[in-house]
């Protein structure tokens, strides 16, 4: 059976003795429940009570040891979604002596990563909330290697894309429902609990309307490294295609949020860009074959929706064109725009919205979760039907939002082409393999200042420095220096940008005054280096 635990043999009696004598040991990272990941020896799980168990003994360790604050609100988030109250992790405590009265534990010998998937039926959520965070949590802890065991505790079935989770390690992932097959008490020899949130870029609107995360910590580089890993595991190779064999992909949805004139759209794109156009859909093709196609495409055109997460597989330089149904403001729903705009993703992003009401097809009679509104009060239905834009709202059941986002659309070709023409700065081109440089300057070295007093109201301040140490190994298009001069005690400063390594300031320099001077290097206008230690210069 696929749910066999391991071929690693463990000495059962030694393991049991270790659990009884050592109890559970936990050491975590993170100051708060929202940034915490914990590593455990001998964390147990009682399948009857559906609770994790921490066994106390003389040798057990619990760090952080925060008493009842462990419940305020939780020890940690079990999914990568920040502070979601259905995704909290905690454990029950027992003395190790209680093991005598409990069912015999079954030991899990593999190093295990325990987490909640957030929404395993939606491709965007699968990538953003699960696959990327799992991948990079595994990179953070070296013993979470290809032999690691993933355990999903959210309680759902496999979902439509379980094969994608299988790519992350060579062992079959376990679901919560599988655990009881192993026995009443399972003990994970070594486990990590929780997920890194470092790679997520979007918040779904649980406490404020959805939008990019406030502090994005991931760049296109890490997203692309992950995409390459998946492509490798899916046995996808991107072969160089002959010159002029560029093509556009239209990603179509088959069950809802349809494009009614898809053929017309394909034809218009083909004529405009003199390229082949192909359509893909999750209903018609395997995920791997879609990735294969997208990985060499010049342009990806699609209605807003989870399928747009496949833009992680586009080559650098490609364009993403996201279509929005009537009354939906593209600026309010930007998971794919944010992704495409991450530094180093090197994708062009354009949105188009249907502004012509007669080109929308509404479904008021559908169930509420597919955007139906007939269950609402008559007045509310009329308000929604008359509204020209969904106001900003919280996740996840706003009926006006669901009504509008599940409309079908007849794409107005002239306005679509105009938006794309205006928006594409350069012709989409997958040959743009060159990444813009990401190497920052070091500090400038040996900064010095010299001063002289010319007259009662005239003074000079000369500042000089050496190039940053790493510059001699780099080819940099443009090297500039920024100098800040602040009169001591003032709270403003004068900034200067200079191409050379020294300069004599005389304007605004007063005699018998102390100036604080900072110098840093800038590559290519935007890559800022650190400031050197402040210079204290007395005229």
List contacts with ligand UDP (CB under 6 A).
121-124, 253-256, 282-283, 305-307
Residue among 106 and 411 whose Cβ is closer to ligand UDP: 411
* 50-81: burial string, b at 16+ Cβ within 10 Å, e else: eebbbbebeebebebeeeeebeeebbbbbbbb
Closest to 461 measured CA to CA, from 498, 500, 499, 516: 516
The first and second tokens of residue 320, run together, are 């993403």
Give the C-alpha separation, 179 to 187, whole Å. Answer: 11
* CB 122, min distance to ligand UDP, A: 4
* CB 253, min distance to ligand UDP, A: 3
* CB 2, min distance to ligand UDP, A: 24
The bridge status of strand 149-152 relative to strand 106-115 is: parallel
Q: Which residue(s) pair with 484 in the sheet?
A: 495, 518
The first and second tokens of residue 206, run together, are 């649980």
Residue among 52 and 161 whose Cβ is closer to ligand UDP: 161
* CB 280, min distance to ligand UDP, A: 11
Residue among 266 and 306 whose Cβ is closer to ligand UDP: 306
Residue among 364 and 511 whose Cβ is closer to ligand UDP: 364
* CB 199, min distance to ligand UDP, A: 19
Residue among 298 and 302 whose Cβ is closer to ligand UDP: 302
Residue among 234 and 282 whose Cβ is closer to ligand UDP: 282
* CB 310, min distance to ligand UDP, A: 9
Backbone φ and ψ for 172, nearest 5 degrees, come out as -65, 125
The helix/strand/coil state of 97 is helix
* CB 71, min distance to ligand UDP, A: 33
Give the C-alpha separation, 388 to 329, whole Å. Answer: 10
* CB 262, min distance to ligand UDP, A: 13
Closest to 275 measured CA to CA, from 305, 239, 319, 308: 319
The bridge status of strand 25-29 relative to strand 61-63 is: parallel
Residue among 265 and 517 whose Cβ is closer to ligand UDP: 265
Give the C-alpha separation, 115 to 10, whole Å. Answer: 24
* CB 293, min distance to ligand UDP, A: 15
* CB 333, min distance to ligand UDP, A: 9
* CB 78, min distance to ligand UDP, A: 22
The first and second tokens of residue 77, run together, are 């988030």
* CB 491, min distance to ligand UDP, A: 48
The helix/strand/coil state of 376 is coil
Tokens 């080559």 sit at which residue? 315
Q: Taking the chain, what is the end-to-end CA distance rounded to the nearest angstrom?
A: 82
Residue among 189 and 307 whose Cβ is closer to ligand UDP: 307
* CB 501, min distance to ligand UDP, A: 53
CA 79 to chain CA mean position, Å: 13
Give the C-alpha separation, 327 to 400, whole Å. Answer: 10
Give the C-alpha separation, 104 to 98, whole Å. Answer: 11
Residue among 324 and 523 whose Cβ is closer to ligand UDP: 324
Tell me the DSSP string of 257-295. Answer: S-BTTHHHHHHHHHHHHT-EEEEE-TTTS-HHHHHHHHT
Residue among 410 and 485 whose Cβ is closer to ligand UDP: 410
Residue among 23 and 305 whose Cβ is closer to ligand UDP: 305
Which 3-state string (H, E, C) describes 102-155?
CCCCEEEEEEEEEECCCCCCCHHHHHHHHHHHHHHHHHHCCCCCCCCEEEECCC
Residue among 36 and 253 whose Cβ is closer to ligand UDP: 253
In a 13 Å sphere around the CA of 27, the CA atoms on its Cβ side amount to 2
Residue among 131 and 471 whose Cβ is closer to ligand UDP: 131
CA 414 to chain CA mean position, Å: 34
Are the C-beta atoms of 515 and 485 separated by less than 8 Å?
A: yes
């Amino acid at each position: 059976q696929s749910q066999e635990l391991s071929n690693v043999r463990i000495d059962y009696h030694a393991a049991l003795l270790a659990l009884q004598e050592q109890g559970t040991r936990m050491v975590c990272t993170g100051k708060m429940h929202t940034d915490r990941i914990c590593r455990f020896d001998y964390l147990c799980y009682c399948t009857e009570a559906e609770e994790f168990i921490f066994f106390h003994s003389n040798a057990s360790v619990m760090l952080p040891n925060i008493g009842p604050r462990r419940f305020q609100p939780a020890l940690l988030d079990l999914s990568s979604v920040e502070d979601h109250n259905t995704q909290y992790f905690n454990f029950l405590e027992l003395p190790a002596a209680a093991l005598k009265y409990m069912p015999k534990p079954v030991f899990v010998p593999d190093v295990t990563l325990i987490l909640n998937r957030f929404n395993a039926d939606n491709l965007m959520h699968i990538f953003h909330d699960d696959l990327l965070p799992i991948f990079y949590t595994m990179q953070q802890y070296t013993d979470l290697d290809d032999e690691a065991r993933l355990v999903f505790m959210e309680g759902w079935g496999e979902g439509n894309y379980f094969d994608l989770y299988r790519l992350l390690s060579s062992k079959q992932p376990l679901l919560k429902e599988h655990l009881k097959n192993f026995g009443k008490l399972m003990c994970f020899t070594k486990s990590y609990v929780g997920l890194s949130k470092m790679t997520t870029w979007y918040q779904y609107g649980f406490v404020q309307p959805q939008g990019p995360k406030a502090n994005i910590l991931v760049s296109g580089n890490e997203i692309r490294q992950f995409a390459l890993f998946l492509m490798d595991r899916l046995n996808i190779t991107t072969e160089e295609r002959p010159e002029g064999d560029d093509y556009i992909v239209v990603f179509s949805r088959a069950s809802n949020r349809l494009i009614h004139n898809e053929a017309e759209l394909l034809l218009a794109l083909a004529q405009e860009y003199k390229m082949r156009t192909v359509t893909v859909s999750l209903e018609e093709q395997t995920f791997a074959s879609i990735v294969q196609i997208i990985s060499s495409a010049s342009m990806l055109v699609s209605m807003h929706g989870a399928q747009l997460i496949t833009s992680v597989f586009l080559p650098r330089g490609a364009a993403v064109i996201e279509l929005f149904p009537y009354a939906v403001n593209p600026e309010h729903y930007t998971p794919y725009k944010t992704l495409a705009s991450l530094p180093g993703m090197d994708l062009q992003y354009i949105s188009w919205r249907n502004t012509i009401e007669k080109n929308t097809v509404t479904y008021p009679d559908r169930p509420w979760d597919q955007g139906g509104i007939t269950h609402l009060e008559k007045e509310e239905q009329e308000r929604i039907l008359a509204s020209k834009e969904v106001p900003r709202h919280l996740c996840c059941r706003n009926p006006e939002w669901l009504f509008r986002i599940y409309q079908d659309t007849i794409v107005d070709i002239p306005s679509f082409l105009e938006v794309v023409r205006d928006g594409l700065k350069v012709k989409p081109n997958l040959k743009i393999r060159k990444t813009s440089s990401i190497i920052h300057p070091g500090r400038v070295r040996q900064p010095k200042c010299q001063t002289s007093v010319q007259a009662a109201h005239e003074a000079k301040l000369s500042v000089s420095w050496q190039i940053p140490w790493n510059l001699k190994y780099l080819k940099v298009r443009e090297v500039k220096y920024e100098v800040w001069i602040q009169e001591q005690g003032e709270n403003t400063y004068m900034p200067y940008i200079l191409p050379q390594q020294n300069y004599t300031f005389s304007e605004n320099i007063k005699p018998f005054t102390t100036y604080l001077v900072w110098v840093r290097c800038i590559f290519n206008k935007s890559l800022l280096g650190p400031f050197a230690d402040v210079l204290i210069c007395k005229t």
